[in-house]
Structure 1
Amino acid sequence: MTLEKKFLWALHLGIILISGCSKKSVVSSGSDYKEDLSAVRPRYEYVEPTIVTRPEPAAPSKSTNTVKADVDKPLYVNKKLESVLDTLAKQNKAIRYINGFRIQIYVGNVRQEADNAKSYVYQAFPDLNPYVSYSQPTYRVKVGDFMYRSDAEQYLDMIREQYASAVILADRVDIKRSLLVNAASDHN
């Protein structure tokens, strides 16, 4: 670097240092400031509410229009509510599957072993449904339709006696079948 460039850099650095060390002016927040805002504030006047009592009718009127209108309103609301509830019930019945859990008991290439695992489940746990899937060259056997992982864990302990590599997997399960699964304590 030339002497001129070094001098310019030193000059810039000096200016920055001097300006950083200079005395700063601070606006004081003293008690000198006074401003009256009462002229622009909104003003509200309080008015005491009056209670009006209406005289009760001495005898019910014989006109059926007012009685019929009072009776129809609740029925109308009930009919409308019933139709909405029916619609929701139909929508809920249309839902067959939910996110749940299954226990995978076998993964392998031998069909006979997959069939043996399936028959074991039919014999030992008749309320659990086995599902065999094949994706070349692998067979997978999953059992159960559990909505909650805790239910699957109860069965997992019993299944691991026969299949030590059994694991719980998240899967789409059939709602109706999941409601039919008994507690694992019934099998002990």
Structure 2
Amino acid sequence: MMLKKNFLWALHLFIILLSGCSKKSVVSSSNSEYKEDLSSVRPRFDYVEPTVTERAAPVSTPKTSTAPKGNVDKPLYVNKRLETVLDTLAKHNKSIRYANGFRIQIYVGNVRQEADDAKSYVYQAFPDLNPYVSYTQPTYRVKVGDFMYRTDAEQYLELIRERYSSAVILADRVDIKRSLLVNPTAESN
């Protein structure tokens, strides 16, 4: 039985090796050339020569302006429409009050007096920054500033960390008008 299995395995192995070593015929692409007539399926276009119609010469009459009257009105019409569109866009942009920006969180804790102290410190040391105190039971959070760019917030963060070492920069919705008032190069007193 064992001899029969070994013989079958050897036979299978021999057939696989023999088929792997056999010469295969490969069609050479250099000898064969592709030829097919595709003219029946190609689209056909008939060229039509454009005709030029000559206009009659206008009767010479004295003109007071050099530009035709019909062409003058159209640019003004386009300009008026453009002005109204630009005005509506400007009104829309002015109505946007908040944008994505950054604030520095200087205090997180359960003691209201410490939150008020942090707020008063910001008023005294950084008058151009606005402190925001929020309360979510039982935690007070004091965030400072309206920064449009993280780099501006990082400049103030170094100064604030002298007093509040746990201060961090957080992404937040900021007031655009107040963010324009922040001077990132200002130093503390």
Pairs within 5 Å for 1:26-175 = 26-30=26-30, 32-33=31-32, 61=63, 66-67=68-69, 69-175=70-176
Q: Distance in 1 between matches of 2:3 and 2:95?
A: 86
Does the residue aligned with 1:163 lie in a helix, a strand or coil?
coil
Q: Is the CA contact 2:159–2:188 (under 8 Å) kept in the aligned structure 1?
A: no
Q: Distance in 2 between matches of 1:112 and 1:131?
A: 15
Does the residue aligned with 1:107 lie in a helix, a strand or coil?
strand
- Structure 1 residue 182, shift from structure 2 partner: 1.7
Q: Distance in 2 between matches of 1:133 and 1:7?
A: 86
- Structure 1 residue 3, shift from structure 2 partner: 7.1
Q: Distance in 2 between matches of 1:165 and 1:151?
A: 18
Aligned length: 174
| 2:51 alignment partner in structure 1 | none
- Structure 1 residue 145, shift from structure 2 partner: 0.3
Amino acid at match of 2:15: I
Q: Distance in 1 between matches of 2:155 and 2:62?
A: 67
Q: Distance in 2 between matches of 1:6 and 1:36?
A: 54
Does the residue aligned with 1:185 lie in a helix, a strand or coil?
coil
Does the residue aligned with 1:70 lie in a helix, a strand or coil?
helix
Structure 1 length-normalised TM: 0.75
1:22 aligns with 2:29: no
- Structure 1 residue 16, shift from structure 2 partner: 3.1
- Structure 1 residue 117, shift from structure 2 partner: 0.2
Amino acid at match of 1:18: L
Change (3 A) 1:113 1:22: same
Change (3 A) 1:20 1:78: same
Percent identical among aligned pairs is 76
Where structure 1 has 5 or more consecutive residues not aligned to the other structure, the ranges are 43-53
- Structure 1 residue 23, shift from structure 2 partner: 1.6
- Structure 1 residue 86, shift from structure 2 partner: 1.3
Q: Distance in 2 between matches of 1:34 and 1:72?
A: 65
- Structure 1 residue 100, shift from structure 2 partner: 0.6
Q: Distance in 2 between matches of 1:167 and 1:93?
A: 31
| 1:51 alignment partner in structure 2 | none
- Structure 1 residue 109, shift from structure 2 partner: 1.3
Instruction: Show CA shifts across 1:95-118 (max 9, x none).
Output: 211111000111111111011000
Amino acid at match of 1:157: E
- Structure 1 residue 90, shift from structure 2 partner: 2.0
Change (3 A) 1:70 1:183: same
Does the residue aligned with 2:163 lie in a helix, a strand or coil?
coil
Q: Distance in 1 between matches of 2:27 and 2:33?
A: 16
Structure 2 length-normalised TM: 0.75
